[in-house]
């Protein structure tokens, strides 16, 4: 399928500086989930994050997105310390910069495909512009969803995954974060989703960071971060 037209999108270098996250176990005892002394991700990079369940893959994506605050260290986008921003400023930065493919999709069942894809635009305006409606329809077609008026409640899991990816791409983000985008999909559907995610990121020049257990998807990334090797210890 032809690529979607995409205006030039400002990009940034992502730096994780002395990043650490503390949690508590089932008994309430604190422990350090992971530590990353320094990681610099250049604009347009595609990185796969691996590691066993519970090692902090999803938490790392949430830290990068500003949905969590680090226990220590900073998340920087270019020279801006995102982790130091107020909650409202982090929300604004996230809307302007990030497309997030959540593991559980977070679609609104009552809305149709096009409305779910265009949901980010509704954070700033109630009515969609004509060009926003056109982009939602174009993304739906690109994702192999020919009927944008179907309600999300009627979609298969694979179709919901495609809608979630399209929604993440709607604002032409400079940074795409994908949490287990091929989880629970068959081999064929997983390969198609991987193709769509990597191709659209490459076409727009976005940085793509993907947390996955899927070895076939992980093999598609030239750069990989294995959190099973990140230091874990009891918090002080």
Q: Give whole-number Cα distances, 201 to 17, 51, 123, 161, in Å.
A: 25, 23, 23, 16
Residue 17 forms beta bridges with which residues? 38, 74
Q: pTM of this prediction?
A: 0.87
User: What does the pLDDT read at residue 208?
Assistant: 96
- 197-220 tens-digit pLDDT: 898 888 889 999 999 999 999 999
What is the rounded distance in angstroms from the CA atom of residue 20 to the CA atom of residue 26? 20
- What residue has token string 């270098």? 13
- Averaged pLDDT, 173-199: 86
Q: Which pLDDT band holds residue 124 (cuts at 50, 70, 90)?
A: low
> Exposed e or buried b for every residue in 30-66, given b needs 16+ CB within 10 A?
eebbbbbeeeebebebbbbbbbeeebbbbbbbbbbbb
pLDDT in tens, 78-114: 989 999 999 999 999 998 999 999 988 899 999 999 9
Domains of the chain: 44-67+94-229 (3.40.50.300)
User: Helix H segments across 119-222?
Assistant: 130-142, 157-169, 187-204, 215-218
Q: In sequence order, which ranges of the chain are alpha helices (DSSP H)?
A: 57-64, 87-97, 113-117, 130-142, 157-169, 187-204, 215-218
Predicted pLDDT of residue 230? 64
**CA 191 – CA 189 distance, rounded (Å):** 5
CA–CA gap between residue 155 and residue 45 (Å, rounded): 32
Q: For residue 90, what pLDDT is reported?
A: 94
Order across the sheet with 207-211: list the strands.
Answer: 98-101, 175-179, 207-211, 46-50, 223-226
């Amino acid at each position: 399928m032809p690529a979607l037209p995409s205006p030039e999108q400002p990009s940034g270098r992502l730096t994780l500086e002395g990043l650490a996250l503390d949690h508590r176990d089932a008994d309430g005892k604190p422990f350090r989930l992971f530590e990353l002394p320094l990681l610099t991700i250049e604009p347009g990079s595609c990185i796969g994050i691996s590691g066993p369940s519970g090692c902090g893959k999803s938490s790392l994506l949430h830290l990068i997105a500003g949905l969590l605050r680090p226990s220590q260290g900073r998340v920087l986008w270019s020279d801006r310390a995102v982790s130091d921003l107020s909650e409202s400023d982090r929300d604004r930065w996230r809307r302007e910069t990030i497309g997030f493919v959540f593991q559980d999709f977070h679609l609104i069942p009552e809305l149709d495909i096009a409305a779910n894809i265009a949901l980010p635009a509704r954070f700033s305006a109630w009515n969609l512009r004509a060009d926003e409606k056109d982009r939602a329809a174009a993304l739906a077609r690109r994702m192999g969803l020919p009927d944008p008026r179907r309600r999300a409640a009627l979609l298969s899991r694979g179709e919901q995954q495609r809608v979630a990816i399209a929604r993440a791409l709607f604002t032409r983000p400079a940074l795409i974060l994908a949490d287990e985008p091929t989880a629970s999909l068959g081999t064929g559907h997983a390969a198609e989703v991987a193709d769509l995610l990597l191709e659209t990121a490459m076409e727009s020049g976005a940085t793509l960071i993907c947390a996955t257990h899927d070895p076939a998807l992980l093999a598609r990334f030239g750069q990989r971060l294995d959190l099973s090797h990140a230091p874990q210890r009891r918090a002080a």
